[in-house]
């Protein structure tokens, strides 16, 4: 009996020693990944662009004035990386009507587009980017669509219209859109479903004619057993929770008196599910696994704009759920990326969350009159204060619009929504200011669903940790360099030819 107890004790000590050693090896591997991702973020900082336009719509003959801001993605501070900024005006057919290159000074610049009579009315897109923003596999640029109305026939003509022009016969031969009349897309939280593991699934319902639509429906499993019911929260999007089986579930919806059935994604037989609940000051994180037989060495990486913030190795012990509360007090404001990674550097699950900025500026604007006559001088007093109501010195760009004729809509885009939210999502975001009207639990839920549906994997962790090679398409442009060639009248390239350049800006010409 005594010898047996000694052997058992020795075995237990050996087992504990092996566990400690394996944990130390895992920590070392993830520490290496973390250090590599930090080095990558330092070597390849990202940029974002924003254009402050003087209006939300224009007429043919107007001038679009804009102030450009280029900031570092991580800090939202003026970027010292690029000097040229490329700004393009595209018509509704996707043709580039005009392209400008403006000079940035401390991340700021300005310019204008003249909407000449040669242009057609329609919906135009303004794009802005630096070459460094296009250097990565995930291209990014500022984009805004604006209506351009036909020129008014007289000063008393109050009707605004966009003329529809007859399309050329060749344009009618373009491939028809394969988009269905009504469709629901499903987005499992973390990116995957696992059999027997409760999962959150976000969805977006769209109609070819109406865009996003509100719907209600039911999820059915095998033998038409009801698993969950769902309804949209906002702008055609919502979410529900259900437990997948080895058989694909289906969602049944009635839309415009017609019944539709959609298959949900197929669940994996084994794997992990990442679940996050956003609170006011914390993220409640749960990692769930199918069974205790899964022995992967895992870590949860938290990053912001491609810059790693922290990582946590996971030890499930004999449990199937790992709880990890994460305080948001020390996290930067904006979109946070959570990635569940194994020791081989593979990302198993990924989740995007939003952290409200800890402090914000308070801006108050007061004019001397409520109404103004045409061309009457406007006196505007602006006060900027911090969250403690202390005055702040600020460099501002201000646009003044006609309040009666402006197309500005409530919850429209702003520099806040574009830099902290829209630039990290994919697709068109309708009225992004809606998600920040208040900080109620309901609005938080809508914002979280938006991230589940429109989350964009802009930063590939396999590149960040050195698992995949990376070579940028372009290098940062610290000055503007012109490239080209001189050709003869017969199209032959000429060599050793002296060239003089005439650059013109407004009324100033420089040779």
Summarised one tens digit per residue, pLDDT across range 190-246 is 999 999 999 999 999 999 888 899 999 999 998 899 999 999 999 999 999 999 999
| pTM across the whole model | 0.86
Q: E strands, 177-315, where? A: 182-188, 199-207, 211-212, 216-220, 226-231, 237-242, 250-255, 258-263, 272-278, 282-289, 298-304, 307-314
Rounded to whole angstroms, the Cα distance separating 198 from 201 reads 10
pLDDT at residue 8, as a whole number: 47
Q: Are 312 and 324 in contact (CB under 8 A)?
A: yes
d(CA 294, CA 291): 6
CB-based burial, 199-220: b 16+ in 10 Å, e otherwise: bbbbbbbbbeeeebbebebbbb
Paired tokens of 184: 């629901």
Q: Say what the pLDDT of residue 18 is.
A: 47
Q: Are 168 and 253 in contact (CB under 8 A)?
A: no
pLDDT value of position 145: 92
d(C-alpha 221, C-alpha 225), whole Å: 5
CB 337 within 8 A of CB 350: yes
**Which tens digits make up the pLDDT trace of 292-336?**
888 889 999 999 998 999 999 999 988 999 999 999 988 999 999
The Cα 343–Cα 30 span in angstroms is 7
Residues 420-429 as b/e (b if ≥16 CB within 10 A, e otherwise) read bbbbbbeeeb
Rounded to whole angstroms, the Cα distance separating 217 from 204 reads: 12
Low-confidence ranges of the chain (pLDDT < 70): 1-25, 154-158, 164-179, 505-511
What integer best gives the mean pLDDT of the chain?
A: 87
User: Given this model, what pLDDT does residue 12 score?
Assistant: 47
Please tell me the predicted confidence (pLDDT) of residue 375. Answer: 83
């Amino acid at each position: 009996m005594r010898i047996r107890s000694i052997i058992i004790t020795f075995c237990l000590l050996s087992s504990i020693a092996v566990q400690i050693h394996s944990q130390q090896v895992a920590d070392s591997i993830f520490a290496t990944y973390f250090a590599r991702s930090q080095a990558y973020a330092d070597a390849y900082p990202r940029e974002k662009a924003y254009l402050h336009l003087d209006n939300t719509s224009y007429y043919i003959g107007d001038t679009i004035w804009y102030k450009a801001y280029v900031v570092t993605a991580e800090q939202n501070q003026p970027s010292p990386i690029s000097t040229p900024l490329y700004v393009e005006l595209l018509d509704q057919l996707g043709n580039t009507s005009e392209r400008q290159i403006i000079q940035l000074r401390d991340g700021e610049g300005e310019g204008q587009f003249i909407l000449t009579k040669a242009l057609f009315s329609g919906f135009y897109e303004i794009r802005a980017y630096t070459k460094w923003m296009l250097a990565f596999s995930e291209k990014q640029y500022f984009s805004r669509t604006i209506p351009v109305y036909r020129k008014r026939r007289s000063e008393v003509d109050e009707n605004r219209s966009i003329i529809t022009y007859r399309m050329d016969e060749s344009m009618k031969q373009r491939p028809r859109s394969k988009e269905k009349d009504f469709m629901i897309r499903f987005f499992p939280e973390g990116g995957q479903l696992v059999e027997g593991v409760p999962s959150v699934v976000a969805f977006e319902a769209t109609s070819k004619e109406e865009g996003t639509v509100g719907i209600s429906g039911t999820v059915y499993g095998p033998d038409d057993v009801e698993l969950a019911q769902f309804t949209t929260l906002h702008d055609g999007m919502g979410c529900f929770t259900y437990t997948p089986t080895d058989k694909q579930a289906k969602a049944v919806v009635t839309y415009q008196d017609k019944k539709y059935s959609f298959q949900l994604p197929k669940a994996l037989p084994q794997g992990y599910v990442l679940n996050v609940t956003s609170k006011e000051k914390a993220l409640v994180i749960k990692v769930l696994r199918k069974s205790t037989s899964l022995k992967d060495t895992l870590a949860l990486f938290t990053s912001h704009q491609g810059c790693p913030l922290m990582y946590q190795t996971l030890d499930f012990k004999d449990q199937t759920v790992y709880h990890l509360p994460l305080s948001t007090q020390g996290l930067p404001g904006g979109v946070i990326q959570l990635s569940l990674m194994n020791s081989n550097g593979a990302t198993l699950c990924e989740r995007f969350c939003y952290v409200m900025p800890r402090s914000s500026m308070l801006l108050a604007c007061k004019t001397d009159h409520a109404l103004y006559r045409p061309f009457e001088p406007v006196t505007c007093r602006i006060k900027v204060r911090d969250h403690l109501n202390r005055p702040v010195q600020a460099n501002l760009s201000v646009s003044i619009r006609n309040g009666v004729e402006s197309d500005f809509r409530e919850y429209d885009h702003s520099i806040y929504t574009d830099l902290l939210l829209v630039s990290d999502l994919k697709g068109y975001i309708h009225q992004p200011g809606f998600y920040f009207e208040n900080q109620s639990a309901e609005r938080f839920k809508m914002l979280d669903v938006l991230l589940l549906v429109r989350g964009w994997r802009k930063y590939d962790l396999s590149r960040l940790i050195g698992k995949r090679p990376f070579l940028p398409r372009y290098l940062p442009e610290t000055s503007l360099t012109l490239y080209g060639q001189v050709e003869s009248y017969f199209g032959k390239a000429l060599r050793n030819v002296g060239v003089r350049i005439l650059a013109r800006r407004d009324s100033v010409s420089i040779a």
